[in-house]
Amino acid sequence: MQIYNIPINDDRMETTRHGNAEFPVAIYETVLIKNILGFVNWHWHNEIQFCLVTSGSVQFIVNNSTFEANIEEGIFINSGVLHMAKPLTKDAAYICIDADPSVISGFSGSVTEQKYVLPFLSDKSFSYRVFNSKSNMGIVKNLMAIYSLSREQPFAYEAEIMSRLCLCWIDIIRKKDFVSVSDADYSRLKIILSFIHEHYSEKISLSQIADEVHLCSGECCRYFKKNMNCTIFEYINNYRLTESTAALLSSSEIPISRIAYEYGFGSTSYYIEKFKKKTGMTPHAYRKLYKD
């Protein structure tokens, strides 16, 4: 089932439970226009992830790299790596498969875990890998088969899904053109994001954020945009909007004006303007639509 608003903690870690202890795999199709803000915002998770576009075009952003993926093209994203996804067409959709690394490694201490899983999970140069039906038809076919198996659930479908995921993993780790991301970049990003998440309901200045990572304001802006593919204040507004939707739906008794101020927008009119620009409807219309 698609997740329309990904729950995250203050470190941008997704807190959704993917599968269960017996079968820690989640398989679903994401239709981006159905997400609350029309895209999947920045987050990370402990699971490895395979995404395969099934309709339209999708822009995937991983760390400071951006990719456009069309039908039968996709991306592998490693455990713990920041990423987001935006639609480039109205019909943009993709299959998403999240799997705990133990699905690949088997039992703790196995040769598979020691030689072919743990070294890659901890490798900073192994952040992501793009693939398509021309260069990696095996991966594409296996991901499509996994999605079909999850829907039809024939006898022993879980075992076949795990087997096919292992084949996808082998194909991915055999490639050597990985992209390195420095520990310093991750450290600074997490400091900035943590500050924003802690203070988003307040008035935040650029100098406050820059001081947190010991950069001048201009350098901080350039650094953030390079790594996050958006400006600091675009990110702050999107985060405020995402957080405000929970308040909108929690009770119809909370006035829109109160939500606007409590989530850092300063005025009701500014909140309504930003909300409508992002979702295509006013906060009141959004509340009525999703509560009804």
pLDDT in tens, 222-231: 999 887 778 9
> CB under 8 Å to 32, separation ≥6 — which residues?
38, 39, 40, 58, 85, 86, 87, 92, 93
> pLDDT at position 190, please?
81
Helix axis angle, 283-291 to 232-250, nearest 10°: 50
Please give the residue range of the domain that contains residue 215: 183-291
Residue carrying structure tokens 């053109």: 177
Residues 258 and 159 occupy one common structural domain: no
Residues 80 and 152 occupy one common structural domain: yes
- Section 78-106 average pLDDT: 94
Residues 196 and 286 occupy one common structural domain: yes
For residue 178, being part of any structural domain is answered with: no
- Section 162-176 average pLDDT: 91
Residues 150 and 220 occupy one common structural domain: no
How many domains does the chain divide into? 2
Domain end among 173, 191, 209: 173
For residue 107, being part of any structural domain is answered with: yes
CATH number at residue 214: 1.10.10.60
CATH number at residue 162: 2.60.120.280
Please write the tens of the pLDDT for every residue from 119-150: 999 887 889 999 999 989 999 999 999 999 99
Which residue did the predictor score with more confidence, 70 or 11?
A: 70
Percent of the chain with pLDDT over 70: 89
Strand order in the sheet with 93-99: 25-31, 93-99, 48-55, 73-77, 128-132
Considering only CA atoms, which of 276, 273, 246 is closest in space to residue 259?
A: 246
- Section 236-257 average pLDDT: 86
> pLDDT at position 289, please?
79
For residue 16, being part of any structural domain is answered with: no
Residues 132 and 238 occupy one common structural domain: no
Domain end among 173, 207, 233: 173
- Whether the per-residue pLDDT at 98 is higher than 60: the answer is yes
> pLDDT at position 177, please?
54
Residues 48 and 159 occupy one common structural domain: yes
Residues 148 and 196 occupy one common structural domain: no
Which residue did the predictor score with more confidence, 59 or 228?
A: 59
pTM passes above 0.75:
no
For residue 53, being part of any structural domain is answered with: yes
- Section 84-101 average pLDDT: 95
Residues 55 and 115 occupy one common structural domain: yes
Q: Residue 289: enclosing H or E segment and its boundaries?
A: helix 283-291
> pLDDT at position 277, please?
87
Residues 128 and 96 occupy one common structural domain: yes
For residue 3, being part of any structural domain is answered with: no
Residues 60 and 136 occupy one common structural domain: yes
Task: Characterise 78 by phi-psi region: left (phi > 0), alpha (psi -120 to 50), beta (else).
Answer: beta
> CB under 8 Å to 199, separation ≥6 — which residues?
208
Domain end among 173, 193, 219: 173
Q: What is the pLDDT confidence band of residue 164, given thresholds at 50, 70 and 90?
A: very high
Q: What is the pLDDT confidence band of residue 7, given thresholds at 50, 70 and 90?
A: low
Residues 232 and 130 occupy one common structural domain: no
